[in-house]
Structure 1
Amino acid sequence: MSNVVLLSTRRLPPTYFDQVREDLGDQNLTIDVIGWVAPSAWVGDKVNSFTLIGPGRMPAAPAPEPEPAVESTDEAPDAVIAPEAVADPEAVVADEAKVAPAAADVAAAGPIPTAPTAPAAAPAAKPRPTGAKRVVKAVQWRARKARKVAGRMLPKAIKTSAPVKFLRGQRASNDLGKNYWERVLSRRDVMATIDQADVVIALDAGAIWAGWNLGQRKASTPVVLGLPAARRELDMMKVPTT
């Protein structure tokens, strides 16, 4: 049974891991995932482990289904009321005659005055920054204003052009790739999981930088990009050597 480690910066659904086993041709494949983003749902029954190294929280396991309630077939016997427990009608009339004058006196006295409620205290004003903090806040405000002005001055045709979108995407991908690799390298549990892998697979552009660095550090373990390349590596491991 082979063990693969998936490096991913995308949000993966639980059904994706069924597709991974099908594409790699091994339904008994052991899968460990090093993810920057939590999966879209609980994957505890799909993978051996899912280590989240980015922001967010892992989805909670689904609550177990409640057991069906067992209906009792035994009927309770009819309640029996003792004769002495029933009040005498004459005694009830006498008690109502005693209570009526007291209720009339309370109604004549009028409503009971309530104490006036104190007005809610106004929230304290947030203190303004002073000294060095005031200078920092002023510089940050001017920088935000300058970015807004520059964005308005740039023509929309340029902002939405393919080269600008490509450069923005490349910059975001590079930043994510570096952050992902730094987090992988700083986690001992992640590196221990990678050390046990037969093949390490980088699934997307954000994980390429981490895969390349792992390939330089671990020459004995194949580190590939994508599932087709991983399938070739696993097939080569199954071929007996002569």
Structure 2
Amino acid sequence: MSNVVLLSTRRLPPTYFDQVREDLGDQNVTIDVVGWVAPSAWVADKVNTFTLIGPGRMPAQPAPEPEPAAEPTDAAPDAVIAPEAVAAPETVVADEAKVAPAAAEVAAAGAASATPPPAAAKPRPTGAKRVVKAVEWRARKARKVAGRMLPKAIKTSAPVKFLSGNRANKDLGKTYWERVLSRRDVLTTIDQADVVIALDAGAIWAGWNLGQRKASTPVVLGLPAARRELDMMKAPTT
């Protein structure tokens, strides 16, 4: 049985680990995950371990489904009403005639009290408060004008997106690697792996450093490269 460690900085759904086993060609592979972000749902039944080293909390275990209620086997007996408990028709009519006027008076009083008083007008700022409000308004307007000065085509262009995304991945990659180094349990899990797989750009820096520290363990980027490493391990030696 092979043992792989997945390095990830993205949110992974539980179904992803079924895909991992299919792509690796081994349904019995043991999967340990070192994640910066918690999975989107409960994954204890999908992986061996999931170690969260970033912010957030692991999802709670879902509550078990309630068992269906048993249907009664015997029909309940019909209720028996005593004749003296039934009021005569003329009595009911007389009671309604007495209650109706009183109920109408109560409803009218409630409607009158439910009408909300008119809201008082908000006083306009004066003096120093007025100056502060004016300065804040001009600052907001200046930020909007500055944002419009850079054409949208430039802000959304591929080079700008690449540079901003590359900077974010680089910062996350360094933080992720530092957190891996600070966790003895994570390093122990990695030492027991047959293959270490960096799944995304944020985990590449950690994968590269792990490859330099322990050359005997293959550290690869992506599942196809991991499949080749596992196939070579399983191939008979001549």
Compute the TM-score of the two structures, normalised by the length of structure 2.
0.69
Question: Is the alpha carbon distance of 1:44 and 1:240 closer, same or farther for their aligned partners in structure 2, counting shifts above 3 Å?
Answer: same
Post-superposition CA distance 1:56-86 (Å, at most 9, x none): 2222222111122234436778999xxxxx9
Give the match for residue 204 of structure 2. 208
- Which runs of structure 2 are paired with 1:109-148 in the superposition (5 Å)? none
Give the match for residue 132 of structure 1. none
- Counterparts of 2:75 and 2:151, CA distance in 1: 82
Gaps of 5+ in 2: 85-138
Residue 226 of structure 2 is aligned to residue 226 of structure 1: no
- Counterparts of 1:4 and 1:146, CA distance in 2: 53
Question: Is the alpha carbon distance of 1:148 and 1:179 closer, same or farther for their aligned partners in structure 2, counting shifts above 3 Å?
Answer: farther
Partner AA of 1:13 in structure 2: P
- Counterparts of 1:170 and 1:182, CA distance in 2: 18
Give the match for residue 51 of structure 2. 51
Residue 190 of structure 2 is aligned to residue 191 of structure 1: no
How many residues align? The count is 214
Question: Is the alpha carbon distance of 1:73 and 1:156 closer, same or farther for their aligned partners in structure 2, counting shifts above 3 Å?
Answer: closer
Give the match for residue 73 of structure 2. 73
Post-superposition CA distance 1:7-35 (Å, at most 9, x none): 01111111111111111110101001111
Give the match for residue 175 of structure 2. 179
Give the match for residue 87 of structure 2. none
- Counterparts of 1:34 and 1:7, CA distance in 2: 5
Partner AA of 1:25 in structure 2: G
Partner AA of 1:205 in structure 2: A
Residue 25 of structure 2 is aligned to residue 25 of structure 1: yes
Question: Is the alpha carbon distance of 1:190 and 1:160 closer, same or farther for their aligned partners in structure 2, counting shifts above 3 Å?
Answer: same
Give the alignment's Cα RMSD to 1 decimal.
Answer: 4.1
Cα drift, residue 51 of structure 1: 1.1
- Counterparts of 1:234 and 1:147, CA distance in 2: 55
Gaps of 5+ in 1: 81-85, 87-141
- Counterparts of 1:146 and 1:220, CA distance in 2: 58
Give the match for residue 63 of structure 2. 63
